[in-house]
Amino acid sequence: MAALLVYSERVDTACELVAGGKELAAALGLGVSAVALGPGDGVAASELAAAGADTVYVSEDAAFEGWPADAVAAGLAQIVEQADASVVLVGSTRRGKETAPRLAQKLGAGCVSDVSSLVVEDGELVAGRYAFGGATVAREKLATAAKVFAVMPKAFSAEGASAGEGAVVNLQVDVQTSVRVVDRRAKEGDHVNLDAAPLIVGVGRGFNAREDLALGDDLAAALGAVIGCTKSLADFEWLGEDRIIGLSGAKTAPDLYLSVGVSGQIQHTVGVSAAKLIAAVNKDKEAPIFAMSDYGIVGDLYEVLPALTERLKNV
Amino acid sequence: MEDGDRVDIVVCVKTNPDLQMVRIKNREAVTEAVPYKIGDLEKNALEAAVVLRDAAGGKVTALCLAEGNRKAAEDVKVALAMGADEAVVIDDPELKAPDQAAVAAALAAAVKKIGACDLLLFGEGSTDNYTGQVGARVAELLGLPQIGYARKIEVTDGVVRCERSMDAMIETLEAPLPAVVTVVSEINEPRIPGLMQIMKAKNKPLQVWALADLGLEAPTPVREIVSNLAEEQDRKNILFEGAVAEQADAFVNALIKEGVLGR
């Protein structure tokens, strides 16, 4: 049976894609296969098989170390042929986003990146992605025989994954890369993974000085939330770039997104529009963030935050 | 400076409708009469190219696909004012609203026609649609190594070395030239050209090529845009005003009722 093929260098994302891919594949009359690439990825392969992939192709070839785009695209193209895949879903992480178009080019395929929704309508896949800096959602279909979609993490839930016992196939692929990893080190300081956080406090330019962000930290601590920010605060180097939410950062889907001093420019809010609940603290009643919020407090954050933090301590 | 060190760089720049001026009407983006400008990340790429050239010698070419911007040949002069030595604009009625495969095919053909190219720079994504596809597609078409998301870039002895941030890791990667590199905004602060540079830019070489000049036929579309509309908001829009303590109380009570607290 022809297949829908799933790949991400991140196992959690790949499992989401298997779960979401199964529904799409059923509507298209395809099977679901998954790919795990990289030294030591036999472990990921068995997770993917357990998540419900019919077949998992695995290669531990050393060329996949660090997942260079040229080698991964070449490896995937060979597996696409072996698996007779007509649809490829790649996790739209930074690495996935540089690999998917290269794979598409190799396959002569159309590609949609940063896909936030993917559905089957009248027997065809329709992908949604933000356009015009996030102001609109473009819904796109691909006209080519092979189709590549780079799907954002969390676009599908892994909860629908069915316990499976798929076959794991070890593959020999012919790949090389001309990109050499000179150094790879963990970032200094704390690192956050915003796209997995259930509660997020987002801070923006309403803060007058870097040290004032302590007010946001106190609020986040009282809520049990992690701190994210608009791009401008990372540009000021007040916070690290892994805290950026929006078009150039994380696309989050928390239970609660509480913005503080964030005006609500679309380049930021596309990163939170999937939140179950959006709340905002802003002194400007006309700020666009209130139009997309469930709950809003109109007021000076320097007064509101200490009061909120205090109130939360008594919950 | 030794001639062997010179780096010829092509920077692919896209002009986008100025997003600050795009309005939404009946859920549709209104772009008529909105001016175009070179994207922010492309300006980062231009800045990186000019700095590399000034250090090593060589030539910087700004390559721009008009994509329906009738004033592209005018708008690209900003790249010349920023320090590019020459500009090439690809303008063809068949490329008014091209998909990424068509863009990549045209750019790759133009890079071949330009000839000398050790380094091909792109922004990580375009300001408007941010697909991030074109750099990777061009790299594949030209059979070149690619390094994405560079926030530092150096060229020595025929090798490009880049630093980039990937999730929890900082990576330093090297690739032999010629290579494709895409940059992020952290790489630099693009210069703002002064009046002298803007005047000088008027005399720099600028060519306009059509598809036929590149030996290409009209592209076959690989995608169809079904719709492109603003999302409908479905939020409660409840605002708390008044005394701070009361606001805090009402707000926290609402969060408790929603079930997002105290788990």
Least-confidence region, from A1-5, B43-47, B202-206: A1-5
B205: contact with A, CB 8 A cutoff: no
B140: contact with A, CB 8 A cutoff: yes
pLDDT band at B263 (very low <50, low <70, confident <90, very high): low
Please, is A157 exposed, middle or buried when counting C-beta atoms within 10 Å of its C-beta (0-12, 13-18, 19+)?
A: exposed
Sign of the dihedral through C-alpha A143, A149, A152, A157: positive
Q: Give tens-digit pLDDT for A31-67.
A: 999 999 998 888 899 999 999 999 999 999 999 998 9
* Segments making up each domain of chain A, as ranges: 3-170, 194-313
Q: Which amino acid is at B254?
A: A
Whole-angstrom Cα distance, residue A150 to residue A96? 7
Q: Helix, strand, or coil here: A192?
A: coil
**CB neighbour burial string for B116-129, b if at least 16 within 10 angstroms, e if fewer:** ebbbbbbbbbbbbb
Supply the DSSP symbol for B242: S
pLDDT band at B185 (very low <50, low <70, confident <90, very high): confident
B238: contact with A, CB 8 A cutoff: yes
Q: Which amino acid is at B171?
A: E
Note whether B233 contacts A297, CB cutoff 8 Å.
no
Using CB atoms, which residue from B100, B175, B252 is nearest to A312? B252
The dihedrals phi and psi of A81, each to the nearest 5 degrees, come to: -70, -50
Locate B38 and state its tokens. 């070179």
Which residue shows structure tokens 């408790």? Answer: B256
Query: Using N-to-C axis directions, what is the helix angle for B134-142 and B100-114, rounded to 10°?
Result: 50
DSSP state string for B147-169: EEEEEEEEEETTEEEEEEEETTE
Kindly report the number of other CB atoms within 10 A of residue A195's CB atom: 20
Q: Which amino acid is at A64?
A: F
Which residue shows structure tokens 């005047």? Answer: B199
pLDDT (0 to 100) of residue B92: 97
CB pairs under 8 A between A and B: 258
HSE-up (13 A, CA, CB side) for residue B6: 10
> pLDDT > 70: what percent of chain A?
98
Whole-angstrom Cα distance, residue B106 to residue B100? 10
What contacts B217, CB < 8 A, 6 or more positions away?
B211
Locate B173 and state its tokens. 């990667």
Could you tell me which CATH number the domain at A194-313 has?
3.40.50.1220
Would the pLDDT of B139 be above 70? yes
Whole-angstrom Cα distance, residue B200 to residue B219? 36
Mean pLDDT value across residues B239-246: 92
Q: Tell me how far the alpha carbon of residue B10 is from its chain's centroid.
A: 13
What contacts B234, CB < 8 A, 6 or more positions away?
none
Mean pLDDT of chain A: 92
Q: Using an 8 Å CB-CB cutoff, list chain B residues near A110.
A: 99, 101, 222-223
Closest CA to A202 of A229, A175, A183: A229
Would the pLDDT of B3 be above 60? no
Q: Which amino acid is at B159?
A: V
Note whether A114 contacts B238, CB cutoff 8 Å.
no
Would the pLDDT of B57 be above 80? yes
Which residue shows structure tokens 């008044």? Answer: B242
Whole-angstrom Cα distance, residue A148 to residue B27? 28
Which of the residues A120, A297, A312 would you substitute to probe the B interface, choosing the one with the greatest number of B C-beta atoms within 10 Å? A297
Q: Give tens-digit pLDDT for A82-130.
A: 999 999 999 999 999 999 999 999 999 999 999 999 999 999 999 999 8
3-state SS, B97-146, equals CCCHHHHHHHHHHHHHHHCCCCEEEEECCCCCCCCCCHHHHHHHHHCCCE
Whole-angstrom Cα distance, residue A64 to residue A74? 10
B23: contact with A, CB 8 A cutoff: no
Question: What superfamily would CATH give domain A3-170?
Answer: HUPs (3.40.50.620)
Q: Tell me how far the alpha carbon of residue B180 is from its chain's centroid.
A: 13
Q: Tell me how far the alpha carbon of residue B226 is from its chain's centroid.
A: 24
Would the pLDDT of A172 be above 60? yes
Note whether A256 contacts B260, CB cutoff 8 Å.
yes
Note whether B132 contacts A177, CB cutoff 8 Å.
no
Mean pLDDT value across residues A237-263: 90
Would the pLDDT of B39 be above 80? yes
* Segments making up each domain of chain B, as ranges: 3-214, 233-263
Mean pLDDT value across residues B52-56: 96
CA angle A183, B41, A91 (to 5 degrees): 60
Mean pLDDT value across residues B16-29: 86
What contacts A221, CB < 8 A, 6 or more positions away?
none
Supply the DSSP symbol for A244: B
Q: How far is A165 from chain B (nearest CA, A)?
A: 31
pLDDT (0 to 100) of residue A169: 94
Supply the DSSP symbol for A249: S
Q: How far is A57 from chain B (nearest CA, A)?
A: 24
Stronger pLDDT, B262 or B218, i.e. the higher one:
B218
Q: Helix, strand, or coil here: A115?
A: strand
A65: contact with B, CB 8 A cutoff: no
Which residue shows structure tokens 């007058």? Answer: A208
Could you tell me which CATH number the domain at B3-214 has?
3.40.50.620
Which residue shows structure tokens 């879903």? Answer: A89
Would the pLDDT of A160 be above 80? no
